[in-house]
Structure 1
Amino acid sequence: MTRAAAERDDIRTRFQAVDTSNVADALDELGLTDQGLHPELTALSGERLAGWAYTIAGETASYEGTGDPAKMAACAGVGPGEVTVWAGDGAGICYFGELIALGMAERGAVGALVDGGVRDLKWLRRHGFSVFARYRTPIQSIGRWRVTGAQGAVTLRGATAPTVTVHPGDFVLADEDGAIVIPDRAVDAALRRAEELTRTEVRIREALADGSSLQECLDRFGHV
Protein backbone atom coordinates (compact mmCIF):
# COMPACT_ATOMS: atom_id res chain seq x y z
CA MET A 1 0.00 0.00 0.00
CA THR A 2 1.35 3.41 -0.96
CA ARG A 3 1.20 5.87 1.92
CA ALA A 4 2.12 9.53 2.08
CA ALA A 5 5.01 10.51 4.34
CA ALA A 6 2.70 12.26 6.80
CA GLU A 7 0.53 9.16 7.13
CA ARG A 8 3.57 6.94 7.68
CA ASP A 9 4.82 9.30 10.39
CA ASP A 10 1.43 9.38 12.11
CA ILE A 11 1.12 5.60 12.11
CA ARG A 12 4.64 5.20 13.48
CA THR A 13 3.94 7.68 16.28
CA ARG A 14 0.76 5.84 17.24
CA PHE A 15 2.50 2.46 17.25
CA GLN A 16 5.09 3.86 19.66
CA ALA A 17 2.29 4.29 22.21
CA VAL A 18 1.07 0.66 22.20
CA ASP A 19 2.65 -2.57 23.42
CA THR A 20 3.55 -5.57 21.30
CA SER A 21 1.26 -7.68 23.48
CA ASN A 22 -1.81 -5.68 22.44
CA VAL A 23 -0.73 -5.72 18.81
CA ALA A 24 -0.29 -9.50 19.00
CA ASP A 25 -3.80 -9.85 20.42
CA ALA A 26 -5.17 -7.62 17.67
CA LEU A 27 -3.46 -9.70 15.01
CA ASP A 28 -4.89 -12.88 16.55
CA GLU A 29 -8.38 -11.39 16.18
CA LEU A 30 -7.59 -10.65 12.53
CA GLY A 31 -6.55 -14.26 11.94
CA LEU A 32 -2.83 -13.41 11.70
CA THR A 33 -1.69 -15.73 14.46
CA ASP A 34 1.97 -16.33 13.57
CA GLN A 35 3.49 -12.85 13.27
CA GLY A 36 5.60 -12.95 16.42
CA LEU A 37 9.37 -13.33 16.01
CA HIS A 38 11.58 -15.78 17.87
CA PRO A 39 12.25 -14.84 21.51
CA GLU A 40 16.00 -14.91 20.83
CA LEU A 41 15.52 -11.58 19.06
CA THR A 42 15.97 -9.17 21.95
CA ALA A 43 17.05 -5.58 22.57
CA LEU A 44 20.82 -5.16 22.46
CA SER A 45 20.67 -1.38 22.10
CA GLY A 46 17.69 0.75 23.02
CA GLU A 47 14.41 -0.58 24.38
CA ARG A 48 11.96 -0.22 21.49
CA LEU A 49 11.64 -0.38 17.73
CA ALA A 50 8.79 1.02 15.68
CA GLY A 51 9.14 1.53 11.96
CA TRP A 52 8.52 0.43 8.41
CA ALA A 53 10.47 -2.60 7.24
CA TYR A 54 13.38 -2.09 4.87
CA THR A 55 14.62 -5.60 4.17
CA ILE A 56 18.19 -6.76 3.59
CA ALA A 57 19.18 -10.36 2.79
CA GLY A 58 22.59 -11.99 2.98
CA GLU A 59 24.45 -15.27 2.93
CA THR A 60 27.59 -16.89 4.27
CA ALA A 61 30.28 -16.78 1.59
CA SER A 62 34.07 -16.62 1.45
CA TYR A 63 35.34 -13.77 -0.73
CA GLU A 64 38.34 -11.53 -1.25
CA GLY A 65 38.40 -7.80 -0.68
CA THR A 66 38.16 -5.21 2.03
CA GLY A 67 34.45 -4.51 1.97
CA ASP A 68 30.99 -5.47 0.77
CA PRO A 69 29.78 -3.00 -1.89
CA ALA A 70 26.35 -4.63 -1.99
CA LYS A 71 25.91 -3.95 1.73
CA MET A 72 26.78 -0.29 1.29
CA ALA A 73 24.42 0.02 -1.65
CA ALA A 74 21.61 -1.66 0.27
CA CYS A 75 22.07 0.58 3.30
CA ALA A 76 22.10 3.66 1.10
CA GLY A 77 18.50 2.97 0.09
CA VAL A 78 16.95 3.15 3.56
CA GLY A 79 14.69 6.09 4.29
CA PRO A 80 13.03 8.03 7.12
CA GLY A 81 11.02 6.07 9.66
CA GLU A 82 12.33 2.72 8.45
CA VAL A 83 13.77 -0.22 10.36
CA THR A 84 16.36 -2.28 8.51
CA VAL A 85 15.41 -5.96 8.74
CA TRP A 86 18.39 -8.26 8.25
CA ALA A 87 18.10 -11.95 7.32
CA GLY A 88 20.78 -14.50 6.52
CA ASP A 89 22.64 -17.59 7.66
CA GLY A 90 25.77 -16.06 9.18
CA ALA A 91 26.03 -17.94 12.48
CA GLY A 92 28.50 -16.22 14.78
CA ILE A 93 29.12 -13.38 12.32
CA CYS A 94 28.33 -9.69 12.73
CA TYR A 95 26.03 -8.32 10.03
CA PHE A 96 26.77 -4.69 10.86
CA GLY A 97 28.15 -2.37 13.52
CA GLU A 98 28.45 1.25 14.54
CA LEU A 99 29.53 2.94 11.32
CA ILE A 100 26.91 1.38 9.09
CA ALA A 101 24.29 2.14 11.74
CA LEU A 102 25.35 5.78 11.73
CA GLY A 103 25.08 5.85 7.94
CA MET A 104 21.56 4.45 8.16
CA ALA A 105 20.63 6.96 10.85
CA GLU A 106 21.81 9.80 8.60
CA ARG A 107 19.15 8.68 6.13
CA GLY A 108 16.44 8.64 8.77
CA ALA A 109 16.46 4.96 9.74
CA VAL A 110 15.13 4.46 13.27
CA GLY A 111 16.76 1.13 14.12
CA ALA A 112 17.52 -2.40 13.04
CA LEU A 113 16.02 -5.86 13.51
CA VAL A 114 18.71 -8.48 12.92
CA ASP A 115 18.14 -12.24 12.72
CA GLY A 116 21.86 -12.60 13.25
CA GLY A 117 24.70 -10.76 14.95
CA VAL A 118 25.83 -7.20 15.59
CA ARG A 119 28.82 -5.60 17.27
CA ASP A 120 29.94 -2.19 18.61
CA LEU A 121 27.13 -2.30 21.14
CA LYS A 122 28.76 0.23 23.46
CA TRP A 123 28.74 2.77 20.66
CA LEU A 124 25.31 1.87 19.32
CA ARG A 125 23.95 2.49 22.81
CA ARG A 126 25.76 5.82 23.13
CA HIS A 127 24.37 6.92 19.77
CA GLY A 128 20.87 5.87 20.81
CA PHE A 129 20.45 3.58 17.80
CA SER A 130 17.95 0.84 18.64
CA VAL A 131 18.87 -2.71 17.66
CA PHE A 132 17.04 -5.95 18.32
CA ALA A 133 19.17 -8.92 17.33
CA ARG A 134 19.71 -12.62 17.92
CA TYR A 135 23.25 -12.37 19.24
CA ARG A 136 26.29 -10.16 19.64
CA THR A 137 29.71 -11.00 18.28
CA PRO A 138 33.01 -9.25 17.58
CA ILE A 139 33.53 -11.23 14.33
CA GLN A 140 33.23 -9.04 11.25
CA SER A 141 31.39 -10.08 8.09
CA ILE A 142 34.06 -9.03 5.56
CA GLY A 143 35.29 -12.13 3.78
CA ARG A 144 32.70 -14.31 5.57
CA TRP A 145 29.18 -13.00 4.91
CA ARG A 146 27.78 -10.72 2.23
CA VAL A 147 24.58 -8.95 1.31
CA THR A 148 22.70 -10.51 -1.61
CA GLY A 149 19.83 -8.08 -2.02
CA ALA A 150 17.52 -5.47 -0.54
CA GLN A 151 13.82 -4.71 -0.53
CA GLY A 152 12.66 -8.23 -1.26
CA ALA A 153 10.73 -10.64 0.96
CA VAL A 154 12.88 -12.17 3.72
CA THR A 155 12.21 -14.84 6.32
CA LEU A 156 13.07 -14.55 10.01
CA ARG A 157 12.73 -17.10 12.80
CA GLY A 158 9.25 -17.16 14.26
CA ALA A 159 7.77 -17.53 17.74
CA THR A 160 4.82 -19.80 16.93
CA ALA A 161 5.83 -20.86 13.43
CA PRO A 162 9.23 -21.82 12.03
CA THR A 163 9.51 -18.58 10.09
CA VAL A 164 7.83 -15.21 9.57
CA THR A 165 8.00 -13.58 6.14
CA VAL A 166 8.71 -9.86 6.15
CA HIS A 167 7.95 -7.75 3.10
CA PRO A 168 9.17 -4.22 2.43
CA GLY A 169 6.62 -1.83 3.89
CA ASP A 170 5.39 -4.15 6.63
CA PHE A 171 5.53 -2.61 10.10
CA VAL A 172 8.01 -3.77 12.76
CA LEU A 173 7.29 -3.28 16.45
CA ALA A 174 9.55 -4.49 19.26
CA ASP A 175 9.68 -3.80 22.99
CA GLU A 176 10.42 -5.53 26.29
CA ASP A 177 8.11 -8.43 25.36
CA GLY A 178 9.70 -9.16 22.00
CA ALA A 179 9.23 -8.37 18.33
CA ILE A 180 6.30 -8.68 15.96
CA VAL A 181 5.69 -7.96 12.28
CA ILE A 182 2.44 -6.41 11.10
CA PRO A 183 1.72 -7.02 7.39
CA ASP A 184 1.09 -3.77 5.58
CA ARG A 185 -2.44 -4.83 4.64
CA ALA A 186 -3.31 -5.24 8.35
CA VAL A 187 -1.54 -2.17 9.75
CA ASP A 188 -4.58 0.08 10.04
CA ALA A 189 -6.93 -2.50 11.56
CA ALA A 190 -4.30 -3.88 13.94
CA LEU A 191 -3.33 -0.42 15.13
CA ARG A 192 -6.91 0.67 15.77
CA ARG A 193 -7.65 -2.49 17.75
CA ALA A 194 -4.38 -2.27 19.71
CA GLU A 195 -5.25 1.29 20.67
CA GLU A 196 -8.69 0.11 21.87
CA LEU A 197 -7.07 -2.62 23.99
CA THR A 198 -4.60 -0.10 25.38
CA ARG A 199 -7.40 2.24 26.45
CA THR A 200 -9.21 -0.67 28.13
CA GLU A 201 -6.06 -1.62 30.03
CA VAL A 202 -5.75 1.96 31.26
CA ARG A 203 -9.30 1.87 32.59
CA ILE A 204 -8.68 -1.46 34.31
CA ARG A 205 -5.54 -0.17 36.01
CA GLU A 206 -7.41 2.93 37.17
CA ALA A 207 -10.28 0.83 38.52
CA LEU A 208 -7.88 -1.48 40.37
CA ALA A 209 -6.16 1.54 41.88
CA ASP A 210 -9.57 2.80 43.06
CA GLY A 211 -10.19 -0.45 44.92
CA SER A 212 -12.07 -2.64 42.44
CA SER A 213 -11.19 -6.32 42.45
CA LEU A 214 -9.68 -7.97 39.39
CA GLN A 215 -12.87 -10.00 38.88
CA GLU A 216 -14.98 -6.84 39.05
CA CYS A 217 -12.76 -5.25 36.42
CA LEU A 218 -12.95 -8.27 34.15
CA ASP A 219 -16.73 -8.38 34.51
CA ARG A 220 -16.91 -4.67 33.68
CA PHE A 221 -14.33 -4.32 30.97
CA GLY A 222 -13.83 -7.86 29.67
CA HIS A 223 -10.61 -9.80 29.30
CA VAL A 224 -7.63 -8.16 27.64
Structure 2
Amino acid sequence: MINQSSSEREREVDKELLAKYEGLYTPAVADVMHEYGYEEQTLDPEITPLDDDMTVVGSAFPIVGRPNRSVNADEVLRRFLEMHEDVPKDGVMIYDTNDTNSAHLGELEVTSLQPSGVAGAVIDGGVRDTSVIRERGFPVFNRYTTPVDCIFRWELLDWGTDAVVGGVEVSPGDIVVGDGDGVVVVPQEIAEDVAEDAHEMASSEDAVRAALEDGVEAFDAYEEHETF
Protein backbone atom coordinates (compact mmCIF):
# COMPACT_ATOMS: atom_id res chain seq x y z
CA MET A 1 0.00 0.00 0.00
CA ILE A 2 1.36 3.42 -0.95
CA ASN A 3 1.48 5.96 1.87
CA GLN A 4 0.25 9.39 0.84
CA SER A 5 1.40 12.69 2.27
CA SER A 6 -1.11 14.90 4.06
CA SER A 7 -0.97 17.41 1.19
CA GLU A 8 -1.83 14.67 -1.33
CA ARG A 9 -4.77 13.53 0.80
CA GLU A 10 -5.98 17.12 1.13
CA ARG A 11 -5.75 17.49 -2.65
CA GLU A 12 -7.92 14.38 -3.11
CA VAL A 13 -10.50 15.75 -0.69
CA ASP A 14 -10.44 19.05 -2.55
CA LYS A 15 -11.09 17.31 -5.87
CA GLU A 16 -14.05 15.45 -4.40
CA LEU A 17 -15.45 18.72 -3.08
CA LEU A 18 -14.89 20.56 -6.35
CA ALA A 19 -16.73 17.79 -8.20
CA LYS A 20 -19.82 18.59 -6.12
CA TYR A 21 -19.83 22.12 -7.53
CA GLU A 22 -19.56 21.10 -11.17
CA GLY A 23 -22.81 21.94 -12.94
CA LEU A 24 -24.06 24.25 -10.19
CA TYR A 25 -24.94 27.78 -11.23
CA THR A 26 -24.01 30.83 -9.16
CA PRO A 27 -27.59 31.96 -8.35
CA ALA A 28 -28.27 28.67 -6.54
CA VAL A 29 -24.99 28.90 -4.65
CA ALA A 30 -25.59 32.57 -3.75
CA ASP A 31 -29.15 31.84 -2.55
CA VAL A 32 -27.96 29.03 -0.29
CA MET A 33 -25.17 31.24 1.04
CA HIS A 34 -27.77 33.88 1.89
CA GLU A 35 -29.76 31.29 3.86
CA TYR A 36 -26.58 30.47 5.78
CA GLY A 37 -26.18 34.13 6.70
CA TYR A 38 -23.36 34.81 4.22
CA GLU A 39 -24.88 37.73 2.34
CA GLU A 40 -21.75 39.36 0.90
CA GLN A 41 -19.97 36.49 -0.87
CA THR A 42 -20.53 37.61 -4.46
CA LEU A 43 -17.76 39.64 -6.06
CA ASP A 44 -18.37 43.15 -7.39
CA PRO A 45 -20.62 42.78 -10.47
CA GLU A 46 -18.09 44.71 -12.57
CA ILE A 47 -15.88 41.60 -12.44
CA THR A 48 -17.24 39.66 -15.42
CA PRO A 49 -16.15 36.78 -17.70
CA LEU A 50 -14.26 37.48 -20.91
CA ASP A 51 -17.02 35.46 -22.62
CA ASP A 52 -20.52 35.08 -21.22
CA ASP A 53 -20.36 31.30 -21.55
CA MET A 54 -17.17 30.98 -19.51
CA THR A 55 -17.52 29.10 -16.23
CA VAL A 56 -15.03 28.27 -13.50
CA VAL A 57 -14.98 26.04 -10.42
CA GLY A 58 -11.83 25.71 -8.35
CA SER A 59 -9.94 26.15 -5.14
CA ALA A 60 -9.02 29.73 -4.31
CA PHE A 61 -5.37 30.72 -4.72
CA PRO A 62 -5.31 34.38 -3.63
CA ILE A 63 -2.70 36.78 -5.05
CA VAL A 64 -2.03 40.24 -3.62
CA GLY A 65 -0.23 43.23 -5.14
CA ARG A 66 -0.20 47.00 -5.47
CA PRO A 67 0.82 49.70 -7.95
CA ASN A 68 4.50 50.62 -7.76
CA ARG A 69 6.20 52.62 -10.51
CA SER A 70 9.67 52.08 -9.07
CA VAL A 71 9.77 48.28 -9.40
CA ASN A 72 12.48 46.40 -11.23
CA ALA A 73 10.73 44.68 -14.14
CA ASP A 74 13.06 41.67 -14.10
CA GLU A 75 12.47 41.12 -10.37
CA VAL A 76 8.70 41.41 -10.82
CA LEU A 77 8.75 38.90 -13.66
CA ARG A 78 10.80 36.44 -11.62
CA ARG A 79 8.32 36.82 -8.75
CA PHE A 80 5.49 36.01 -11.16
CA LEU A 81 7.23 32.89 -12.38
CA GLU A 82 7.88 31.80 -8.80
CA MET A 83 4.22 32.35 -7.95
CA HIS A 84 3.11 30.35 -10.99
CA GLU A 85 4.98 27.31 -9.67
CA ASP A 86 2.85 27.38 -6.51
CA VAL A 87 -0.57 27.51 -8.20
CA PRO A 88 -2.14 24.09 -7.59
CA LYS A 89 -3.95 21.98 -10.11
CA ASP A 90 -7.66 22.95 -9.98
CA GLY A 91 -6.66 26.26 -8.40
CA VAL A 92 -8.31 29.55 -9.31
CA MET A 93 -5.89 32.45 -9.27
CA ILE A 94 -7.90 35.20 -7.58
CA TYR A 95 -6.17 38.58 -7.65
CA ASP A 96 -6.41 41.48 -5.21
CA THR A 97 -4.49 43.96 -7.39
CA ASN A 98 -5.44 47.33 -5.83
CA ASP A 99 -4.89 48.60 -9.37
CA THR A 100 -6.98 50.25 -12.08
CA ASN A 101 -4.47 50.78 -14.89
CA SER A 102 -2.54 47.68 -15.93
CA ALA A 103 -3.00 44.07 -17.03
CA HIS A 104 -2.14 41.33 -14.55
CA LEU A 105 -2.64 38.35 -16.86
CA GLY A 106 -1.80 37.79 -20.51
CA GLU A 107 -1.33 35.23 -23.24
CA LEU A 108 2.04 33.79 -22.19
CA GLU A 109 0.93 33.24 -18.61
CA VAL A 110 -2.18 31.41 -19.76
CA THR A 111 -0.13 29.33 -22.18
CA SER A 112 2.13 28.35 -19.28
CA LEU A 113 -0.56 27.72 -16.66
CA GLN A 114 -3.27 25.95 -18.65
CA PRO A 115 -1.37 22.69 -19.26
CA SER A 116 -0.74 22.43 -15.50
CA GLY A 117 -4.46 22.10 -14.81
CA VAL A 118 -5.01 25.56 -13.35
CA ALA A 119 -8.79 26.07 -13.38
CA GLY A 120 -8.88 29.76 -14.26
CA ALA A 121 -8.33 33.31 -13.04
CA VAL A 122 -10.49 35.89 -11.31
CA ILE A 123 -8.88 39.32 -11.41
CA ASP A 124 -9.98 42.44 -9.59
CA GLY A 125 -7.89 44.21 -12.16
CA GLY A 126 -6.93 43.91 -15.80
CA VAL A 127 -6.16 41.38 -18.52
CA ARG A 128 -4.72 41.66 -22.04
CA ASP A 129 -4.26 39.43 -25.10
CA THR A 130 -7.95 38.67 -24.75
CA SER A 131 -8.52 37.23 -28.21
CA VAL A 132 -5.89 34.53 -27.66
CA ILE A 133 -7.15 33.75 -24.16
CA ARG A 134 -10.66 33.34 -25.57
CA GLU A 135 -9.35 31.02 -28.27
CA ARG A 136 -7.62 28.89 -25.65
CA GLY A 137 -10.84 28.66 -23.64
CA PHE A 138 -9.10 29.54 -20.37
CA PRO A 139 -11.72 30.91 -17.95
CA VAL A 140 -10.93 34.50 -16.97
CA PHE A 141 -13.09 36.90 -15.00
CA ASN A 142 -11.77 40.46 -14.84
CA ARG A 143 -12.70 44.08 -14.15
CA TYR A 144 -11.22 45.65 -17.30
CA THR A 145 -8.98 45.06 -20.31
CA THR A 146 -5.89 47.07 -21.26
CA PRO A 147 -2.75 46.53 -23.34
CA VAL A 148 -0.57 47.98 -20.54
CA ASP A 149 1.67 45.37 -18.88
CA CYS A 150 1.81 45.46 -15.07
CA ILE A 151 5.47 44.30 -15.03
CA PHE A 152 6.70 47.91 -15.15
CA ARG A 153 4.25 49.45 -12.69
CA TRP A 154 2.95 46.87 -10.23
CA GLU A 155 4.40 44.96 -7.28
CA LEU A 156 3.50 41.34 -6.55
CA LEU A 157 3.42 41.27 -2.75
CA ASP A 158 2.25 37.79 -1.74
CA TRP A 159 0.25 34.73 -2.75
CA GLY A 160 -1.48 31.81 -1.08
CA THR A 161 -2.63 34.20 1.65
CA ASP A 162 -5.89 35.81 2.76
CA ALA A 163 -7.09 38.63 0.52
CA VAL A 164 -10.07 40.84 -0.26
CA VAL A 165 -11.13 40.51 -3.91
CA GLY A 166 -14.06 42.42 -5.36
CA GLY A 167 -15.20 43.27 -1.84
CA VAL A 168 -15.18 39.65 -0.62
CA GLU A 169 -12.77 38.06 1.87
CA VAL A 170 -11.04 35.08 0.29
CA SER A 171 -8.83 32.47 1.94
CA PRO A 172 -6.74 29.75 0.30
CA GLY A 173 -8.89 26.67 -0.30
CA ASP A 174 -12.22 28.50 -0.45
CA ILE A 175 -14.38 27.39 -3.36
CA VAL A 176 -14.67 29.80 -6.29
CA VAL A 177 -17.68 29.41 -8.60
CA GLY A 178 -18.10 31.69 -11.60
CA ASP A 179 -20.40 31.92 -14.62
CA GLY A 180 -22.15 34.52 -16.74
CA ASP A 181 -23.95 35.89 -13.68
CA GLY A 182 -20.80 36.56 -11.64
CA VAL A 183 -18.44 35.00 -9.12
CA VAL A 184 -19.30 33.55 -5.70
CA VAL A 185 -16.75 32.56 -3.02
CA VAL A 186 -17.76 29.79 -0.61
CA PRO A 187 -15.75 29.56 2.63
CA GLN A 188 -14.07 26.17 2.87
CA GLU A 189 -15.59 25.35 6.25
CA ILE A 190 -19.16 25.34 4.89
CA ALA A 191 -18.46 24.28 1.31
CA GLU A 192 -19.69 20.69 1.69
CA ASP A 193 -23.07 21.72 3.11
CA VAL A 194 -23.52 24.55 0.61
CA ALA A 195 -22.94 22.20 -2.32
CA GLU A 196 -25.51 19.69 -1.05
CA ASP A 197 -28.14 22.36 -0.42
CA ALA A 198 -27.46 24.09 -3.73
CA HIS A 199 -28.08 20.82 -5.58
CA GLU A 200 -31.37 20.41 -3.69
CA MET A 201 -32.35 23.97 -4.59
CA ALA A 202 -31.47 23.41 -8.24
CA SER A 203 -33.62 20.25 -8.29
CA SER A 204 -36.55 22.14 -6.77
CA GLU A 205 -36.18 24.90 -9.35
CA ASP A 206 -36.13 22.28 -12.12
CA ALA A 207 -39.43 20.94 -10.77
CA VAL A 208 -40.95 24.43 -10.68
CA ARG A 209 -39.78 25.10 -14.22
CA ALA A 210 -41.35 21.88 -15.45
CA ALA A 211 -44.60 22.71 -13.69
CA LEU A 212 -44.73 26.18 -15.22
CA GLU A 213 -44.06 24.75 -18.67
CA ASP A 214 -47.00 22.38 -18.10
CA GLY A 215 -49.26 25.35 -17.42
CA VAL A 216 -49.33 25.28 -13.60
CA GLU A 217 -49.97 28.71 -12.12
CA ALA A 218 -46.89 30.31 -10.57
CA PHE A 219 -48.45 30.57 -7.09
CA ASP A 220 -49.51 26.91 -7.16
CA ALA A 221 -46.02 25.85 -8.28
CA TYR A 222 -44.54 27.83 -5.41
CA GLU A 223 -46.93 26.31 -2.89
CA GLU A 224 -46.04 22.81 -4.01
CA HIS A 225 -42.26 23.15 -4.27
CA GLU A 226 -41.62 26.00 -1.80
CA THR A 227 -39.29 27.83 -4.13
CA PHE A 228 -39.51 30.19 -7.08
Deviations 1:83-136 (A, max 9, x none): 101112221100110111222212210100000000011110111100000011
Amino acid of the structure 1 residue aligned with 2:171: H
Distance 2:118 2:129 in 1: 18
Distance 1:11 1:125 in 2: 27
Distance 1:40 1:119 in 2: 17
Amino acid of the structure 2 residue aligned with 1:65: A
Distance 2:207 2:16 in 1: 24
Per-residue deviation, 1:176:
1.4
Among candidates 30, 39, 58, match of residue 33 of structure 1: 39
Identity %: 28
Counterparts of 1:199-210 in structure 2 under 5 Å? Answer: 199-210=203-214
Deviates more, 1:102-111 or 1:59-68: 59-68
Distance 2:50 2:204 in 1: 31
**Partner of 1:160 in structure 2?**
none
Distance 1:215 1:88 in 2: 46
**Partner of 1:5 in structure 2?**
11
TM-score, L = length of structure 2: 0.91
Structure 2 residue 214 is the aligned partner of structure 1 residue 219: no
SS at match of 1:21: helix
Amino acid of the structure 1 residue aligned with 2:183: A
Per-residue deviation, 1:8:
2.2
Counterparts of 1:70-219 in structure 2 under 5 Å? Answer: 70-157=79-166, 163-219=167-223
**Partner of 1:48 in structure 2?**
55
Please state which structure has a larger fraction of its residues in helix: 2
SS at match of 1:102: helix
Distance 2:158 2:40 in 1: 25
Per-residue deviation, 1:5:
3.3
Distance 2:156 2:204 in 1: 44
Alignment size in residue pairs: 219
SS at match of 1:96: coil
TM-score, L = length of structure 1: 0.92
Amino acid of the structure 2 residue aligned with 1:86: Y
Contact persistence 1:70–1:146 (CA under 8 A): no
Moved over 6 A (4+): none
Amino acid of the structure 1 residue aligned with 2:180: E
Contact persistence 2:97–2:123 (CA under 8 A): no
SS at match of 2:197: helix
Per-residue deviation, 1:214:
1.0
Structure 1, unpaired ranges of 5+ = 158-162
